[in-house]
Amino acid sequence: MGTAGYAALIDHYGLKVPLPPRLAGISEHHHRVETHDWLLLTPRHRPKDILAGHLEFALKWEGIDLGVLASLFEVVPDNEFSTLVQAEPTGAYARRLWFLREWLTGREIDIPSPGKVRAVPVLDPEQQFGLARGIPSRRHKVVDNLPGTPAFCPLVRRTATLEAQIAKGLDRRAREIVASVHPDVLSRAAAFLLLDDSKASFRIEGERPSPQRALRWGKAIGEAGSRPLSIAEFERLQRIVIGDSRFTHLGLRTEGGFVGTHDRRTHEPLPAHISAKAEDLQSLMDGVVAYDERVRTAGVDAVVIAAPLAFGFVYIHPFEDGNGRLHRWLIHHTLGAAGYNPPGVVFPVSAAIYRNIAPYKSVLESYSRPLLDLIEWRPTPAGNVRVLNETAGYYRFFDATAHAEFLYRCVEETVEQDLPQEVAYLEAFDQFSKGVQEIVDMPEQKVDLLHKFLRQHNGRLSKRAQSSEFAALTDEEVDRVEALYRDSFQGLALSEPDVES
């Protein structure tokens, strides 16, 4: 077996880039083999072992890898590349490469017009997700359907998994679920799901926020998608999420950054992820904002575009603190701006992420961990890191396919589990509350406490509760209340409430 396409180019030119998630090669056998990690084609697909041959092979079979191309274009001289394009000036692959060369480098090269030919999309929509409505480039006779700009443009490959998830129409499914729900129940369910997401987002970071802080962040999540993104907007949100900012620098970092621990003896950093350099943050964050503006009304699936935006942000890690919660807020921002969730309802994606914390960390590390081998750094006296090489491209361009597949699983959980379960729970609680009032006249707060005690003890009222808060209930009334609880909440999976009894 021999490598081809991007793998061959990376090896031949010694490019310091992350390897594509799936490599391509030529098998010795005459049948095609596809695995999660490899695409092996037959000997008749073998490209010419020259730059043009491997580039055409890569675009045809692997799609566009902007990180590899950006690095490659910095080492291939203009005259060599110009010769490559002019060898087939009307060819679709040559025109796409010509556009990408100038788009990535910002430098025009002197190549004559290809003449009257049909414009082709830069990104093959059958391979990768791009804009449904691109921007024509008359110079290159292509349509720029890339979802981002040269400052920030992660890409997502079309996979059978993503196609199947999109076909489920989870946005329509959520609307079907809430269509028959009483407005009062839906309003209460939405409020709980919003607060649950806020708390879960803090729990992922290992924090237990005060009720007031959780409510403030929940309010920010509820408003996600209603304002355009900007660096100023990110900084406003950071102030909300941090709360006490006396010991945290607010705004874009002015120093290096990493995620990890410190050696207990030397206090030297032990990074699990190294963030973008401080001097690159303005450009990268401008790119994040431009990506959001570009995809918002461009006909791209909302969950698919949320993944590159949110995970790209957290890889950049622009702030000293608050990056994780803002990263998850960006998911809500994208879904909200696209009208993906029912009006007034926020999918508790952070709660689903928290339940799937191991796969979440695995997806995060699928890109960040290989980067460690490519980043040159040294520790600072303050226990931080100082990055020595150019790394901006690592954060501008990456394959976000695994991230999109993971996010879709989380969104599906919120639609098929969290939303209907919370609605069912509230309807059961209303049935229970009404039934209690038919047994004994009791204030709402007391009914709520009674429900919590029963829930904590699997439908039984503890002896302690019977002898204190509910000593006024007769034995017959206790039996009827317990039976009512079982009838009301039968079949519902309930977690223990935060209450002592």
Provide the residue-wise pLDDT of the chain in tens; the chain has 501 residues. 689 999 999 999 999 999 999 999 998 877 888 888 888 989 889 999 999 999 999 999 999 999 999 999 999 999 999 999 999 999 999 999 999 999 999 999 989 888 889 999 999 999 999 999 899 999 999 999 999 999 999 999 999 999 999 999 999 999 999 998 999 999 999 999 999 999 999 999 998 888 888 999 999 999 999 999 999 999 999 999 887 777 778 889 999 999 999 988 888 999 999 999 999 999 999 999 999 999 987 888 999 999 999 999 999 999 999 999 999 999 999 999 999 999 999 999 999 999 999 999 999 999 999 999 999 999 999 999 999 999 999 999 999 999 999 999 999 999 999 999 999 999 999 999 999 999 999 999 999 999 999 999 989 999 999 999 999 999 999 999 999 999 999 878 655 444 333
pLDDT per residue as tens digits for the range 417-476: 999 999 999 999 999 999 999 999 999 999 999 999 999 998 999 999 999 999 999 999
| Number of residues written out for the chain | 501
Q: How many Å apart are CA 317 and CA 35, to the nearest integer?
A: 32
E strands, 10-155, are: 23-26, 33-34, 38-41, 120-121, 135-137, 142-144
Residue where the block lists tokens 């006296």: 381
Q: What are phi and psi of 152, to 5 degrees?
A: -170, 115
What is the domain partition of the chain in residue ranges?
A: 2-144, 160-420, 440-489
Alpha carbons within 13 A on the beta-carbon side of 216 = 13
Residue where the block lists tokens 């209450």: 499
Q: How many Å apart are CA 24 and CA 12, to the nearest integer?
A: 15
Residue where the block lists tokens 């949320």: 306
Sequence-distant (6+) residues with CB within 8 A of 308 are: 147, 148, 154, 155, 156, 291, 400, 403, 404
DSSP state of 321: S
Is the pTM for the entire model greater than 0.75?
yes
**Domain 160-420 falls under CATH 3.30.70.100:** no
Orientation angle between helical segments 323-337 and 231-242, nearest 10 degrees: 120
Sequence-distant (6+) residues with CB within 8 A of 340 are: 171, 302, 303, 334
H-only helix segments in 317-462: 323-337, 349-355, 357-371, 392-396, 401-413, 419-439, 444-456
Q: What are phi and psi of 273, to 5 degrees?
A: -155, 135
What pLDDT is recorded for position 493? 65
